[in-house]
Chains A and B, each alone.
Chain A
């Protein structure tokens, strides 16, 4: 069984700081990590490999520094890693990104058929959850999003059964391979990298694919990067503060009890609906 896992290198949001005066992001020195949601996809792929055997290939599209994310994935146990990197990809929105990734996966398929493509449910920097569905459509693969559990994979029957999170419940779905699965968080935990894999990851000859190597012909340059992106950012701005700042509750005594009583009485005067809501709970 051959599983391709799409990952993305993202800035560690826990360490992003906002400039207190200009309200802009201070990107300097923010460490890059593998998108946390993608780790659930990678772990799920590695579990299937443990069970059924096979190969796990990780791919990412990004700048040359994204190599670090791929080496990390190798250290967890992925077998091969491909970095799709070219200036021509810069400025891609989700439509252009799915074109490039799908094209690269088609190249991978030329060497070894791909049974499944795994992605995280979304990234933590873009939060769009669109690239997975886009790649599935372009590869004409069955799409299984928000998969909370892989119930069974039968490679010989080319069949997979999964639980998919829907709005009010869970759908139990059966489909045929090849398929693309976006894996929901929380149902597994990334394994620790072991010593042999860490050594292997450091030495592994990473494949670097430029546009042509990713299978994108000259004619298709209009489908990648900025040119291939229908959406355009027309403006970026800091959120406007609400018309008024918070009314600060200050009491002479500095006693929390007095603060609590003060804020409640102010609130009930100005927001009778809140007082009503709370009164409801007394009954």
Chain B
């Protein structure tokens, strides 16, 4: 008859509750009362609470601004409203300053950014992007007789920048150091200043300059070169794959039924050129 081996050393008593909890609980922690197969993370919370918090940037017309009644308006705001409707929840729009967009997402003050966030490597490290739904190019325009052809040619000249816009944010860091930067209230003011000789060049958006050349051919203004070009997309916190997939499905369906093109046409005129994406 063999004697039993040494008894295994008893587990510390304090570990037993945790052991029991780990044994009986499902391997993936779920909120109480949650149905099997329900959405997880931010999407689950949005669907359960009935509220989605979407951060917008309202100093970026025509993507984000106010209408005549002071109500938030613009292409990104319209997209946020559509997304909330498709989620079947109430929309809580959160107005954000340009530099507060990514921190607001990371600090869980918003669930999604519809705030003209460009898909660039620097941002990609901090957020999860949905499929791009638009593009924007920042361009420089001058009078037709101007010899300006590149950024370097702007050295020593007066450049009109539309205050509080993505275009100004983007261009300011690229202008030659001895450029005189004239911050003016809005895109139209910049074009006007350049056309009438109060500035040597205007920073603007590619779509606006294309539109001007068609609608106001008599205006002495001409696009010269593109400063930057980027796609923009809805952004979410990293590690929220259920929400990301829902948003991509939303973009797919609304792209297919023409709703996204309608929004683009209403605020930006024309059809965007966004390439295929493997989601």
A, B assembled together: no
Binding site for B on A (CB under 8 A): none
Binding site for A on B (CB under 8 A): none
